[in-house]
Every structure is written in C-alpha cells, then in structure tokens.
Structure 1
C-alpha cells in the first residue's frame, strides 16, 4: 500500500520523482524517499513524515541525475522512520529498491543473507530484496532480479536500480499494480497513472508475473523467464485536471461534489428507451437463467455497496444473494458451483483480498463479474465480465463517488437481470430507470444544503462516540456512514440494525450521545420511529434523516430532521449517504484532521 515512481531520461529525475510522488501520496504518506544516480554514484535521500519533509531536505542538497526511483510508504513491516523508509540498498550501496507489497518469507531470506555477510539496518521486509539481488548479481541486473523473484513469496511491485548498469531501470509486478509510461527520450514507472500523466499519456499496464526493462530510449516487456512480450499501448484519455482539487479545499470535498456527474457518467449509454443496455458484459439471457445464486465479495466501503447490491438483486430478480468480506471469503470454504455468479467490487481493481477471492471463485468454476473504477486493473482483466464505474480518479483515501457509482452499477445490473429474464415487466423497469435518471439533480439539491450538515457536524465533533441506526437498506447505509465518520474524524462510531437495539446495544445509550437515525424505507418507518423513541427515552440526541414529506412526523421524535428528495425506497441509498458523507467531512474539519489523508490508512490496499 505504497506509491512507486521511477524515471529514466533527459530531465533531472529528482523533479520528476517528486512530482510523481505528490500525485501518489494518497497511497502512502508516513515516509518518502528517492534514489538517484548522480556524478557521485547512487545516492539515496529519505525521511519520515509527509512528502514535504523530503522536499525540504532535497532543497538543501539536490540530487542531480537522469535516472532514479522514488517511494511514498504506508508502513507494514517496521514503524515509520527515516531508516525504514524506501528506497533500500544493499550493504555496498550499489543496488537500490522500492517496493509495494509484502515479502512473506523475508525472515527466512534475511537469516540466510545475514549469515553470508549482509548488514541489515532496517526492520523492513523490503531491505531483504536489495541484499538478495546484490547476492545474485553476476553482471546482468535483469537476470539477478529474475532469480530474486523466484526466491521471494508474497505480493510485490518493484523498481530496481544498480550502479553497475546505470542506464537501466527494472520494474516487476506480482499482485501489486505497476504501469509503464512511454515518452520520447524518457520512460517512467508508477503505481498509478496520475503519477506520470503530466509527462505522457501512453502507458503499458503490467500483468502479474511480468517485468519491464527501461532505458531512456526503449522499453522491453518480458515474462519472469525472459520471454519478450508484445503488447498494445494504452492511451489515457482523461486529463490531469480531473485529478486536481479544482478550487475545492480538499480532494474529498471535490469528489463529494462530483457525484452528480459520476452518476450520469456511470449510467451514460447504459440506458436507452426505458431499458438497460450492458453491451460490455457477455451474460446472455440463457446464461442468466443458469444462475442459481449470487455471491457479492468486497472490502470496506465496496462491501457496503455490496450490501445494497444484495437487496437490489434479491428484490428485482428473486434469487438468493450472499455478501462476503473478501478477506474471509476463501477461508470459509464457500460453496461455489458453475451456476454461481460471483460479483467482486473494488474501486482500484487491485485490492489484494478481492483479487484472491476472484481467483478462488474462478478456480471453482464460477463466472465472475467485476465492478471497478479502473480500466485495465487486475480485477478488470481477470474477471469474465466488467461493469466500469465512470467516477473518474478518486484521490481522497475515504471513498465517496466511487461508492455511490458502485451503487449505480448494482442498480443497472439488477435491472438488467430482471429485464432479460422477464421477471419484471417493462413498465416497472421504465419506472425505476426514470427514478434513476433523476438522482443526479437530487444529489445536487442535497449538496446545496451542505451548510446544514456542517452545523450538525460541528455538534457531533464534540463527542468521542456515537451511533448510526436504520432498518433494511437504511441499515446498509448506516454502516457506510459510520465507517466514513470513523475513517476521517477518528470518532468511535457503530452502526446497528435499529431493531437490534433492545437486544443489548441500548446499554450504551446515555445522556446527549449522538444517534444518526435513517428512516427512508416506507414499510419500516413506524418501527424505526419506535426504536428512535427507545433511544430518546434514555437520553440520546437524535438526528433523523427522512424523505421530503415525512419530516413533520419525524420531528416529533427527534432533535433535528434532515429531509432528502423523495425517490423510490430501493434507490434511497444513492441519496441518503450524501449527507452522511458531508457530516463526516465537516466533523473531521472541526477536529482539525487532514481529511484526504486519515492516519494509518491508505487508498489502495494491495496487501492481505
């Protein structure tokens, strides 16, 4: 869960590396470092803290040279510190490595290398790689890296330099994302496209088990066995401005406000004449008829989108759907048959646990549908079918527009299944689609009332604990609202199915403790109001969220009411989550936190 950037070319590499790391800082930000070939040889500069700390060191003593590698770290092995920061070198300081991922057998390798004379200075698994490559080097850095990779177990993306061959930059991908940027007289590596988009739009996306050798005038793709690969270049058609703040105070606020556009783009050409058109998937009506059950597998926020997806598919299609946390899926020995459709959901398309679940599902013969925001990602390439969410780059660690775009994808797929199987008539499908098409304007209406949520958030920010409650789809949204608040405000928060309060949770309610209550599901409102009264009777301070038209009744039972535009109850999550995102955002600001880079978290979780 780190950011890698590398450069070889005619420019000063330090400038390119720092620029790229700035675009990747969302992937890891507890330390940063660079290694550059200068007239004095291979020089490394690294520092604990945000990238600005490293930049200040480089201002005092720049590293000048045309080839280098850089890294922003999110600690897995060893606490954040200068010495644990990347890049790492071998004992002779002739080899330098940056690494994203985990080396599972690093202790075994470390003992072997130390016995042979290697001097280790850090607590990291990455330092083992530099010593291992050095021990295997016999005049050819490519072969040394290939031999090293065969000795290592785990997940990794690597950038490797050696002073012995100062014109070459070697890149390796195994389970962690890495792309190659191709320029004129210069070439790049990066963990993500924004890192290099300022300099080139032409990229190769490495697949698992592939490597690349870069010089300033050439890029060679190959397998780990050395077989050269021919691949079409991918041209990036979005611009860097979409990955910048565009006048907003933070990426998260920008991305919250981009949701109306993300809704429209994700629906886009997939709706025509009152029907859903999913040309990008190959599931015919006959194949859909063979589906006996659906498994939805994801992590974190994407899992919460999956909970909504479960309700949508079960209601529209009437087949059983299971939701699973991806990190648990493989280990519970799930019952998967060829008639199981597995839907994996990942914003980045590189989430390690979700990838592992995808591979397990395919091994068992299931068809896999991916919902992801990144074209060309591992999840997108390995799934049988893909629904891309056109949310655009999401930079803030806490997901907002990617989550809601995933909801839109589930609505579209659920409607598509019901439509193709003839389970719902055309009038019903058209009614839901018409309501879907109104969502962007309704989201905009909520965003225009952001100041209301700011007032609530400043009250909530004074507390160290609070609760979210809801029933049905409201409970699924409550889980996401609670997670968002925890992620960026660091306030302890829990979400409960409202009907479960009386089974133990009411013991936690005390005077003035905030409770966020969602009540958008018509047939459940009376029961939810009854649960709210149980809370207020014990001193809880309740913020109620309902559809417009229901606020009068709700006001009798809560301290504050926020009304959202009315839509079909099935679509309510696409609206009700918006004020909860704003609540979390403003609560975090009120507490003085860095909204875009919450402590201990990273954007793309590429380790298990």
Structure 2
C-alpha cells in the first residue's frame, strides 16, 4: 500500500473534527496531512541557499522546480508569516501529500475507492512580520489595545467617504440585502457581542428587523431560517467551529450569507456569498480588543450601505459618517496610556 492509501483507510474510520499530520519511517521523504472541521494551513517556502535563508519569493507552483523547499503546517496564518507568505488553506477531506519537495492534493470521498486529484494555487499572505511582534509592550493584549486608533483607520480606509459608504464586498448583493425580510446576526463570544452592539444601527438605518443568534444555540434548536432572509456571520478568525457549522445550516436553508471576518482566506470568507474583511491586523491576544471595535464599525458601515437608498434617514447617516470619520482621532488618548 502507498502512504496515501494507508491514511485514507484511517480517515474512513474517523468521525468528528480533526486536523492530522502523518509521518512514518516506512515511507521516508513523505508526509501527509488531512483535516475535517478543524483549521489547517500549509505554508511553502523556497530555500535560497544552504543556510536555509528565507527568500519570501512568490512560489507559484506546488510542484518542485529543483530548489529545496520548507513546509510549515499551522492552524493560524499568524504562525507562518515569519517563515513564508505563500500558503494554502486546506479544505475538508483533502489529502496533502508531500514527497521529495512536491505537493499533490487529493480529494477524499468515503464512498469512492480512489480519491480525485485537485489542482490548487498558493495564496500570498497579506501580513507583515512586525504585526506578530510585541515590541515594547508587555503582552499582545496591551499592544492591541494601543493599536485601536490605527486599526479603526485601516478598517474605514477607502470605504468611508463624505458621500456615503463604498463596500465592494457587498456591491453585487445590495439589492437582495435591501429586500430581506429579516437580518440574523450569528456569532460566538466577543463577535456575538459586537453584533449585539451594532444591531441598533442596522434596525434604525435599514428598517429591517434584526435578530441575534448564538451559533451553537441556533444549531441545537434548528432555528428557522428562510430564503428571503440574510444571515450575517461574525468571526475574528473566520474559523470558529460553531459559526462555520451554523453557516452550513444557513446555506442549506437558502439564505443569503454574509461574512464579517478579520482573516483573508479563512473558511468563513470562502464559503459565504459575500462579506467584508475588517482589516484590523493580526490579533494574537486571547481577549479581543481591536478586532471587536473594528467589527462594530464594519457592521455600522454595512447598515449605512443598505440604508443608503432611503431619503428619510439621510441626515442621520451623515451624522454617523461624520462620527465614524473622527473616531480614530478621538481614540488617540489610548496611546497616552502607560505601557505598564
């Protein structure tokens, strides 16, 4: 049996969520990874010389071109950025087979004896190494609290204008959003609370009823979701397990699914019909700070975009736009806080 056949026999017996990497002395120079439900990222880097210096070149092909390569597996993009910017987000039931520097991807199906070959291209990570360093701060949470004025600026940059809000990620679906019978905010933990804080803006500016759902509770109840409704999924990482399961449920029901996430290339951003990246920068601290404030701002901008066709709310929209524009400068007092 080949190494991939051995792993497939293991996968046939497994239930639930997992992310696994296999290495065996019986199959030297080979490595296999697979996942279902959990997050797994593959980073690929070409080694520029014998000292393993990182080239950070854009590795286009997954097959080897004769140059030695390094491979990195992680559950989070932040962990690989200091090693490489070229990554592949592994999908459920995919088998990543690395042999002699080349990567092949197979799609596993329990019902079929042989997996199908898949062609995938690497993505380029839009993140700087400095974002994952603490600098002069004692810990990442402290650093991210002080970064809030900057993160709010990047969240609104190019989107918030005097004439209104421009959200390219929603442009093609604005008409559907405006015709929605109900907007359902779905999230967990801090993301759920960010949506709760933004709910008054959405109801006031759009005139659409808004309900809140904790993702796990929605699944337990099998709560009703209809085709004429919009489900907005909020997640900093875009990989929250309960939120992704709720997304699968909403997709089955035929609702328009909108994602609000901080992570480009995350499962949430790939599986929703449309959405907005909050662009708050990498958040490593467990207690969410800058992502929380940026999520609220993004959802306020979504409300402004949906309600932009209503003349009755124009004065209110203009006052909110003015307030959002001045928000980074009014939060600059955070930078005067002591670092201790």
Give the TM-score of the pair, scaled to structure 1: 0.50
Task: Confirm whether residue 441 of structure 1 aligns to residue 329 of structure 2.
Answer: yes
**How many angstroms apart in 1 are the aligned matches of 2:228 and 2:32?**
43
1:263–1:440 contact (8 Å) kept in structure 2: yes
For the residues of structure 2 that align with 1:243 and 1:199, how far apart are their CA atoms?
A: 12
**Which of residues 136, 145, 162 in structure 1 aligns to 2:7?**
145
Matched, 1:370 2:259: yes
Listed as ranges, the matches of 1:282-301 within 5 Å are 282-301=171-190
In 2: Cα distance, 1:221 partner to 1:279 partner:
32
CA RMSD of aligned residues (A): 1.7
Match of residue 32 from structure 2? 170
Whether the 8 Å CA contact 2:162–2:321 is kept in 1: the answer is no
Shift of 1:216: 4.8
User: Quick one: distance in 1 between partners of 2:118 and 2:145?
Assistant: 41
Query: Which of 216, 228, 231 is matched with 1:342 structurally?
Result: 231
Against the structure 1 CA distance between its residues 420 and 284, is the aligned structure 2 distance closer, same or farther, given a 3 Å change threshold? farther
Deviation of the 1:369 alpha carbon: 0.5
Match of 2:96 in 1: 212
Distance 1:216 1:182, change over 3 A: farther
Asked if structure 1 preserves the Cα contact closer than 8 Å seen for 2:145 and 2:334, the reply is no
- Count of matched residue positions in the alignment of Structure 1 and Structure 2: 313
Q: Is the 8 A contact 1:274 1:434 kept in 2?
A: no
Structure 2 CA distance for aligned equivalents of residues 421 and 287 of structure 1? 15
After the TM superposition, which residues 84-163 of structure 1 pair with which residues of structure 2 at under 5 Å, given as runs? 139-163=1-25
Shift of 1:272: 2.6
The residue aligned with 1:565 is: none
Whether the 8 Å CA contact 2:178–2:306 is kept in 1: the answer is no
**Equivalent residue number for residue 54 of structure 2:** none
| In 2, Cα distance between equivalents of 1:377 and 1:324 | 21
1:202 lines up with 2:86 in the alignment? yes
SS at match of 1:173: strand
Deviations 1:353-400 (Å, cap 9, x if unpaired)? 001111111111111101001111111111111110101111111111
- Report the Cα distance in structure 2 between the residues aligned to 1:210 and 1:284, rounded to whole angstroms: 31
1:118-145: CA deviation from partner (whole Å, max 9, x where unpaired): xxxxxxxxxxxxxxxxxxxxx3221111
Instruction: Report the CA distance shift for 1:318/1:156 in structure 2 as closer, same or farther (over 3 A).
Output: same
* Cα distance change, pair 436–246 in 1 and its aligned pair in 2 (3 A): same
Partner of 2:137: 248
In the TM superposition, what whole-angstrom CA distance separates every residue of 1:537-577 from its partner, at most 9, and x where no partner exists? xxxxxxxxxxxxxxxxxxxxxxxxxxxxxxxxxxxxxxxxx
Shift of 1:439: 0.7
Which of 256, 264, 280 is residue 169 of structure 2 equivalent to?
280
State how far apart, in whole Å, the 2-side matches of 1:434 and 1:341 are: 28
Question: SS at 1:370's partner residue?
Answer: strand
Post-superposition Cα deviations, 1:28-67, rounded to whole Å, max 9, x if no partner, equal xxxxxxxxxxxxxxxxxxxxxxxxxxxxxxxxxxxxxxxx
Cα offset, 1:333, TM superposition: 2.5
Are 1:182 and 1:219, in contact at CA under 8 Å, matched by a contact in 2?
no
Matched, 1:302 2:164: no
C-alpha distance in 2 between matches for 1:155 and 1:175: 5
Matched, 1:223 2:107: yes
1:431 corresponding residue in structure 2: 319
Q: 1:386 to 1:286 in 2, by over 3 A?
A: closer
Are 2:75 and 1:191 aligned? yes
Q: How does 1:473-488 map to 2 (within 5 A)?
A: none
Runs of 5+ consecutive residues of structure 2 not aligned to the other structure = 47-67, 110-114
Q: Distance in 2 between matches of 1:447 and 1:323?
A: 34
8 Å CA contact 1:274–1:429 kept in 2: the answer is no
CA distance, structure 2, for counterparts of residue 284 and residue 224 of structure 1: 33
Q: How far apart, CA to CA, are the structure 2 residues paired with 1:377 and 1:163? A: 33
Task: Please state whether the residue corresponding to 1:445 is helix, strand or coil.
Answer: helix
Give the one of 200, 204, 216 matched to 1:311: 200
**Please, what TM-score do these two structures have when normalized by structure 2?**
0.87
Preserved CA contact (<8 Å) 2:260 2:275: yes
In the alignment, structure 1 segments of 5+ residues that lack a partner are 1-138, 455-585, 587-608
- Corresponding residue number in structure 1 for 2:51: none
1:188 is displaced (CA, Å) by 2.2
- C-alpha separation in 1, matches of 2:100 and 2:73: 12
Distance 2:312 2:75 in 1: 44
Change (3 A) 1:339 1:283: farther
Higher relative contact order (CA 8 A, sep 6+): 2
Q: Is the 8 A contact 2:42 2:72 kept in 1?
A: yes
| Secondary structure in 2 matching 1:146 | helix
Give 1:335 deviation, angstroms: 2.0
Q: Per the alignment, in what secondary structure is the counterpart of residue 269 of structure 1?
A: coil
Inter-partner Cα distance in structure 2 for 1:229 and 1:274: 45
Q: Do the aligned residues in 2 keep the contact of 1:317 with 1:423 (CA within 8 Å)?
A: no
Contact 1:389–1:409 (8 Å) recurs in 2 = yes
